Structure 1
Amino acid sequence: MLSLPPLLFALQGSESYALRVAQRLGCPLARHEERDYEDGEHKCRPLDPVIGRDVVVFHVLYGDGRQSANDKLCRLLFFCSALKDAGARQTQVVTPYLCYGRKDRRNQPQDPIMTRYVANFFEVSGVDRLITLEVHNPAAIDNAFRLPAWNLQCAQLFAEHFAKVVGDAEVVAVSPDSGGIKRAEQFRQALEQELGRTVGSALMEKHRAHTTLTGSLLVGDVRDKTAIVFDDLISTGETLKRAGQACLKAGVGRLFAAATHGLFTAGGQLFDPPIFEHVAITDTVPPFRLSSDCITRQLQVLDSTALIATFLAETGAFVRL
């Protein structure tokens, strides 16, 4: 029984992403049932036998018009508990976008540390391993989770994309705030390797007080160069827009932006007016809050499923790709 590959389950709303990973691994998605009740309660159960089997559960924890992030998290935790009760040997969760990743520290007295609480929920639900993409603060995730939690970074994916775009121009990787310096540096190094030439770096000053952003200093030379503002996620888009505007004021030649998770909680605000030639994101969160015209003209969506499939294969769960 232990020689069999894991069963792959995809909860409602994550089927498309999980199916593309499963196709790369050469295996089908397992069967399960999800039922909603009149009072808002629900039930999830596996239909394929899981006793003695390793299982992998896919769910992307962003809120949409049908379910909030809380709803999706609750369903995922209940389903993982049901798998354990049904005799699953080991449960791995793949959540390309992990909710509550930004609330990882106390900013004022009696503040909650939501990232740690979410980690506790996974542990008590019987999850043995978590795999996610580009968390907001990798150190906070390492500290919050006692179970193995793997944060797969997307710097190489974006480097391969932009290496085909920037041509022979001088390039600068821009961090939109001090918290993203390491992330932007990883992207800068990956792009430098892809291009085979030096890539510069720049940093945008940012201070936050509740929902208000301040700071106008851009450290680094972008004049007449190609700048790529690089971040982990886009929520309202205000952070990227401020950095982009500072680059324009500093005389940048060409301007792009990139972020792994495109939430676009303020709709198309980032593109009104458009200041970037295009914004590159991955497919961890579908850009459902944007108009089709905005997606076509302003967005480049990169496929991240190979990162997940390769990791699952290389960690021994599946035959190597």
Structure 2
Amino acid sequence: MGPIKVFSLDAGAEFAGEVAAELGVSVAAHEQRDFTDGEHKLRPLDDVEGADVYLVQSLYSDPPGAAGGSVDDKLVRVLFFLAALRDAGAARLTAVIPYLCYARKDRRTKLRDPLSSRYLASLLEAMGSDCVVTIDVHNLAAFENAFRCRTLNLPARPLFLDYAVELLRDESRGLVVVSPDVGGVKRAEAFRADLAERLGRDVGQAFVEKYRSADQLSGGTLVGEVRDRCALVIDDLIAGGGTIERATGALHRAGAARILALASHGQFAGDALQKLAALPLEAVAVTDSLPQAGVPRLNILRCAPLLAEAIRRLHDGGPAIELSL
């Protein structure tokens, strides 16, 4: 395999630069031009013929008025850039997408529902992607089944373990890991088992009942013992904040002594940050898979080293799969 080349859109250049620095390389040069009619052009300026190319870019919408654009704009640019890199002779092409858009729509829940995650997979493959790398995709089974090319989903669990162990090392009260819905129980159990091993003590588990219809949440029944304990709510995403709000309320009413929220991706859409500020949360931790402004009580965990290690192993021939466990 030829040399590593790391690219990014302009909108993700700072984050890609951190990943490239961890690899000991610079972000490869590209041209990105916007035309007056709304169309755009992207092309690599570095030679990529025979190279092992990685396009690093989360897919998300910027706040209204920001220069980065919508999630759909970023997606089209990524697709066109992937195709341009393939046409320029890249020997292998990997889309490194820490936050993968449209991944939550992975099954039909209503008549004639789309399967957006599958359509996205087809687009990435059609543009020449040999591999797609993500961090804590919403539904791992659906993600893996949607793609025919290689996929690598990296759990953010090691980052949260280091954070939690440092924070809880002197905590004498009981600990419990909480999933804010039934769908996240396996994720919470994996974190609970690793946390118990790292701390050398028992850690309990609980979950909160949740139902969703359109944008409306219901449920809220807590299953598990949390009274006078330190509760760690772990999830893959904080979007509108409703799920964390409902889980935190249930834990507070049940007498939890401390409540901390850990989420792989901090989208914080709408009034999510205002909701979080009003909750009895001691701290909220997210990775920097999505750009974050300075927010009180928000702890940002760097995921560039994790992505760089995955790229290094993919380039060297493995074992990258071990990072997915």
| TM-score (structure 1 length as normaliser) | 0.94
Q: Residues 1-35 of structure 1: CA distance to partner in whole angstroms, max 9, x if unpaired? A: x4x42111111111111111111111111110000
2-structure distance, mates of 1:37, 1:112: 32
Partner residue, 1:286: 291
| Superposed displacement of residue 284, structure 1 | 0.5
Q: Residues 112-169 of structure 1: CA distance to partner in whole angstroms, max 9, x if unpaired? A: 0000000000011001111110000000001101111111001121011011112232
| Superposed displacement of residue 85, structure 1 | 1.1
Partner residue, 1:308: 307
2-structure distance, mates of 1:315, 1:286: 25
Q: Is the 8 A contact 2:4 2:315 kept in 1?
A: no
Unaligned segments of structure 1, at least 5 residues? none
One-letter identity of the residue aligned with 1:311:
A
Partner residue, 1:16: 14
Partner residue, 2:50: 52
One-letter identity of the residue aligned with 2:311:
L
Query: Aligned runs of 1:152-167 on 2, under 5 Å?
Result: 152-166=154-168, 167=171
Q: Is the 8 A contact 1:51 1:86 kept in 2?
A: yes
State how many pairs are aligned.
312
Q: Do structure 1's residue 271 and structure 2's residue 284 form an aligned pair? A: no
Partner residue, 1:102: 104
Unaligned segments of structure 2, at least 5 residues? 320-325
Q: Residues 255-311 of structure 1: CA distance to partner in whole angstroms, max 9, x if unpaired? A: 1001010000023233241310010000011224xxx4xx1x221110111111111
| Superposed displacement of residue 187, structure 1 | 1.2
One-letter identity of the residue aligned with 1:286:
P
1-structure distance, mates of 2:194, 2:35: 49
2-structure distance, mates of 1:53, 1:315: 13
One-letter identity of the residue aligned with 1:10:
S
Partner residue, 2:114: 112
| Superposed displacement of residue 224, structure 1 | 0.2
> Matched residue of 1:14: which SS?
helix
| Superposed displacement of residue 318, structure 1 | 8.8
Q: Residues 239-262 of structure 1: CA distance to partner in whole angstroms, max 9, x if unpaired? A: 011101100000001110010100
Partner residue, 2:152: 150
Q: Do structure 1's residue 180 and structure 2's residue 184 form an aligned pair? A: yes
Equivalent residue for 1:7, pick from 2, 5, 17? 5
Partner residue, 1:189: 193
Partner residue, 1:299: 298
1-structure distance, mates of 2:140, 2:208: 21
One-letter identity of the residue aligned with 1:89:
A
One-letter identity of the residue aligned with 1:276:
L
Partner residue, 2:130: 128
2-structure distance, mates of 1:15, 1:318: 26
One-letter identity of the residue aligned with 1:129:
C
Partner residue, 2:236: 232
Moved over 3 A (4+): 316-320
2-structure distance, mates of 1:319, 1:200: 35
> Matched residue of 2:310: which SS?
helix
Q: Is the 8 A contact 1:236 1:269 kept in 2?
A: no
Q: Is the 8 A contact 1:237 1:269 kept in 2?
A: no
Partner residue, 1:63: 61
